[in-house]
Amino acid sequence: MSVEVVEQENGVASEEVVSPEMLIKHPLQNMWSLWFYKNDRTKSWEENLMEIVPFDTVEDFWALYNHLEVVSKIPLGCDYALFKHGIKPMWEDSRNKQGGRWLLNIQKAQRGTDLNNYWLEILLCMIGEAFDEYSDDVCGAVVQIRNKGDKLAVWTADIKHQDAIMKIGRTIKDRLNLHQRNVIGYEAHTDTQVKNTVKYYDKGTMTVYC
């Protein structure tokens, strides 16, 4: 047990016993880094991408999240990204090259109602390893604020890991409480780059369409 000195209103100091659990932070399984993409057309894409801070405990996550602007309030053209520390939120990163992303398109009308909750839930899924044995396949997530509608994506490491992809997709739909009619698509990064996407669809079943 630890003892903390507390000054009372009458100016008299007293000792208060503090539980060790209150002094010890709760470690996460992985270290994560938050990134911000600023839409500055005078700079290159990589110059606009900034790593804000890494964290590896529950308490540090909430300290960071509670001091950030909520995602629905960041300027148009900007992104937040949360990735495992050491992985950059770009296709070219060696740990992203063979992977793809589950993509959820969010209507502008949902920005003020659903977007913040969706983004927070995805963050909690990732840092809480909610994808069970397939959590290692998750690289990170990106939310993009755009004029025509926002995008929320969870990036995975390898498009060949179809069991992992489907588990991650079903978990996303479940945690976001999406209706089964809400189809989310999975696309390989290589296909996204050439605008010729090959997609796997999660319709609440194990069926995979190519």
Looking at mean pLDDT, say which of 107-111, 137-141, 195-199 comes out highest. 137-141
Task: Specify the DSSP element, H or E, that contains 162.
Answer: helix 162-175
pLDDT in tens, 74-119: 999 999 999 999 999 999 999 999 999 999 999 999 998 999 999 9
The burial of 47, by beta-carbon neighbours within 10 Å (0-12 exposed, 13-18 middle, 19 or more buried), is given as: exposed
Distance CA 114, CA 179 (A): 14
pLDDT in tens, 120-132: 999 999 999 999 9
* The pLDDT of residue 209: 34
Q: Which long-range contacts (CB under 8 A, 24 or more apart) does 114-119 make?
A: 115/71, 115/72, 115/143, 115/150, 115/152, 116/70, 116/71, 116/72, 118/152, 118/176, 119/71, 119/80, 119/143, 119/152
pLDDT in tens, 23-59: 689 999 999 999 999 989 899 988 999 999 999 999 9
The answer, yes or no, to whether residue 193 has pLDDT greater than 60, is yes
pLDDT in tens, 147-185: 999 999 999 999 999 999 999 999 999 999 997 777 899
Q: Are 158 and 98 in contact (CB under 8 A)?
A: yes
Q: Are 189 and 96 in contact (CB under 8 A)?
A: yes
* The pLDDT of residue 194: 67
Q: What is the pTM of this model?
A: 0.82
In this prediction, residue 2 has a pLDDT band, given cuts at 50, 70 and 90, of: very low
Structure tokens at 157: 């490491």
The answer, yes or no, to whether residue 60 has pLDDT greater than 90, is yes
The residues with which 141 forms a beta bridge, in sequence order, are 82, 154
* The pLDDT of residue 21: 56
